Structure 1
Amino acid sequence: MNTYKIAVIPGDGIGNEVVPKALEVLKQAAELNGTFQLECTTFPWSCDYYMEHGKMMPDDGLEQLKKFDAIFLGAVGDPARVPDHVSLWGLLLKIRRQFKQQLNVRPAKYLKGLESPLKNPKGFDLVIVRENSEGEYSEVGGRIYQGEDEIAIQNNVFSRKASERAMHYAFQLAEKRKNYVTSATKSNGIVYSMPFWDEIFKSVSEKYNIKTDSFHIDALSAYFITKPEMFDVVVASNLFGDILSDIGAAIMGSIGIAPAANIHLDGEYPSMFEPVHGSAPDIAGKGIANPIGQIWTGKMMLDHLGEKNAADNIMSAIEQTIANGIKTPDLSGSASTKEVTEAIISYLK
């Protein structure tokens, strides 16, 4: 029997409510599958930890995490007490950058029973592969002068290596899905980085027998709303992937169900799995947080670990739960966090 060592960081706000519920589902799926088990170690790193220690995680925190097979993160942030740039760069982004989690992968799928804001969602099912290490979110730049002469410079950084890495992952993922890859670009307005991205996409695409398209980000954003069913795998730079991911969550019906994976490809460090919804301090402690984003994130973690059968069973249970109207208030339902979790476990069984 395989044993996977999982570092669990519930973090802040509703993370402390949905992570334990997601672990209940994951452990039930493992038990029913019978071929693997999860060995979980929980770390209290959060804004509470920051208030007590003056840092989001201990100095040797990354060293502690290195030994795990995966990191299961709940949420980071409590802006009333700790500025977002402090909490995020002290924990989430620190792990992403120093563990070389080069890709951010986010699926968006219409689930029967959801009230999508789209008039006719047509069963869309897509995955966004976002380059996660450079691009528009590079740390290169600065500010000079003061007053009306002040200037801010932010440099985009695009490397052939990182761009190719994201694109190869997208094509290999499409080979397991619907054999279609779309590239997000803006080469008609950004004169150096985007033509470079387009050239690399064309070069990589020639290595695969897969249909491709390339759309400018403004048109692509519109297509996500008007005809999302046309897409399969979409590969994008850091900023464009971020934008498209949030549109994907929105057209599903709630950011509360959207999962994400931060993937390290080279085997040196663990990958990290986190839902998109954040800490949601406005509903923390009320027992109404939607656990599906965290549970779906756990499903992605099992996929990454190679436990596809258990992962597929979790996804099926999520779909059955939503289709039968067992939903939290963000999905126009009345069920609690606990009730949704119990329903998913019931369908698993």
Structure 2
Amino acid sequence: MPTIGVIGGDGVGPEVVREGLAVLADVAEREGFRYDLVPFDLGGERYLKTGEVLPDKVVDDLRRCDALFLGAVGHPGVAPGILEKGILLRLRFEFHQYVNLRPVRLYPGVETPIKGKGPEEIDMVVVRENNEDLYVGAGGFTRKGTAEEVAIQTSINTRAGVERCLRYAFDLARSRGRERPYRGLSEEERGRGLVGQVTLVAKTNVLTFAHDLWMRAFTETARDYPEIKSDYQHVDACCMRMVVSPERFDVIATTNMFGDIITDLGAVLQGGMGLAASGNLNPARTAPSMFEPVHGSAPDIAGKGIANPIAAILSVAMLLDHLELPRASERIRRAVARVLAAGAPKTPDLGGRANTADVGQAVRNAFE
């Protein structure tokens, strides 16, 4: 029986986690599986009361879980970086969650700001490297606080770290292609047996050391996946084309920093942050993976009961995928699709007046 660690966290985190757990309980009853929940008190309030961010003992307790479900981290009373680095980055690094997986899917019934594009054109997945690059924290200051101050932040990229991320992306494109071949392939490419595409997003013309490594690893890894088309985009061109022609993307593989940026753009394409789910994955399963909505703690609406819970609910679906319960995860996605297609209830971020609990209940009512 899997153990799921639950971190409600800050702001709207506990509100959306509550609905995610209610959906989890309902689908578990319908599908006939069991699980244990272990709550963890982590976030801004704990830090302000105790001065503790993430004690080693809690890390050990989290490590014993099979998966983690996180609401949000970020508190207006805590300086930026303390919670983000002390909780999010520490767990991502210590638990070797080296892939940040971000589906970008537009559901029927949801508006996108991209004119003339719909669900058929917006269906991609971003595989963001999650343990290297600028987020390692390598760097420092010289003459800090003076007019001559110098700040250095170093991007760290290893062959092992880059290649494992790329292999995950190619494996994902292969599995997606087996279920439904990538629609952006030409007839000639389909005739050659291609079923999917991986686009490397980097900046090889300027970052000629780190991204030369990425390009060489990408080219060499692609040889092991002859049925997957290889594509490359500079990050600036990628941002433009995600808006102009999102249908040209299937699986995107990219660096930690660039992935952080383009996945928020992807969230806007799919209708907003309230619909964007994510997973921080340890594919080797040597430690738990962590699943979370990407909207953050949203302190401006915390406590009002109007946060959109769908991103958290879809994160539960990703968690169930990781626990190898695909029927349950797909059942959640179908229920979410029904609610969104119906056009109501909708929280204010989608133009409605419903509250968080209303939408969560609607998803549970939409189960087959």
TM range (shorter): over 0.9
> Cα deviation per residue 1:51-81 (whole Å; 9 max; x = unaligned)?
11111233311001111100100001112x1
Deviation at 1:194, TM superposition (A): 0.9
2-structure distance, mates of 1:307, 1:128: 22
Alignment match of 1:8 (pick from 2, 6, 9): 6
Counterpart position of 1:149: 148
> Cα deviation per residue 1:167-192 (whole Å; 9 max; x = unaligned)?
00001001111311110021111111
Counterpart position of 1:137: 135
2-structure distance, mates of 1:152, 1:46: 29
2-structure distance, mates of 1:122, 1:320: 16
Counterpart position of 2:348: 329
Counterpart position of 1:73: 70
Sort the Cα spacing of 1:154 and 1:57 in 2 relative to 1 into closer, same or farther, 3 A. closer
| Worse overlay, 146-155 or 69-78 | 146-155
Q: Is the 8 A contact 2:97 2:289 kept in 1?
A: yes
Deviation at 1:196, TM superposition (A): 1.4
Alignment match of 1:125 (pick from 97, 106, 123): 123
Alignment match of 1:45 (pick from 39, 42, 45): 42
Amino acid of the structure 1 residue aligned with 2:355 = S
Q: Is the 8 A contact 1:136 1:156 kept in 2?
A: yes
> Cα deviation per residue 1:76-116 (whole Å; 9 max; x = unaligned)?
1112x111211112222211111111110001111111121
Q: Is the 8 A contact 2:198 2:252 kept in 1?
A: yes
1-structure distance, mates of 2:171, 2:51: 43
Give the 5 Å matches for 1:271-282: 271-282=289-300
Number of aligned residue pairs: give it. 345
Alignment match of 1:199 (pick from 213, 216, 241): 216
2-structure distance, mates of 1:265, 1:300: 13
Give the 5 Å matches for 1:169-318: 169-177=168-176, 178=182, 179-209=196-226, 210-318=228-336
Counterpart position of 1:159: 158
2-structure distance, mates of 1:287, 1:185: 39
SS at match of 1:121: coil
1-structure distance, mates of 2:319, 2:63: 16
2-structure distance, mates of 1:170, 1:291: 28
Q: Is the 8 A contact 1:122 1:229 kept in 2?
A: no
SS at match of 2:212: helix
SS at match of 1:279: coil
Give the 5 Å matches for 1:52-71: 52-71=49-68
1-structure distance, mates of 2:45, 2:3: 25
Q: Is the 8 A contact 1:72 1:274 kept in 2?
A: yes
Amino acid of the structure 1 residue aligned with 2:75 = D
Question: What RMSD, in angstroms, separates the aligned Cα atoms of the two structures?
Answer: 1.1
Can you give the 5+ residue segments of structure 2 that lack an aligned partner in the other structure? 177-181, 183-195
> Cα deviation per residue 1:2-41 (whole Å; 9 max; x = unaligned)?
x21000000011111110110110111111112x222111
Deviation at 1:336, TM superposition (A): 1.2
Q: Percent identity?
A: 41
1:347 aligns with 2:366: yes
| Worse overlay, 96-105 or 138-147 | 138-147
SS at match of 1:60: helix
Deviation at 1:303, TM superposition (A): 0.5
2-structure distance, mates of 1:305, 1:59: 26
Alignment match of 1:115 (pick from 94, 98, 111): 111
1-structure distance, mates of 2:291, 2:80: 20
Deviation at 1:218, TM superposition (A): 0.5
SS at match of 1:104: strand
1:83 aligns with 2:102: no
Q: Is the 8 A contact 1:110 1:121 kept in 2?
A: no
Amino acid of the structure 2 residue aligned with 1:197 = W
Counterpart position of 1:18: 16
2-structure distance, mates of 1:211, 1:40: 41
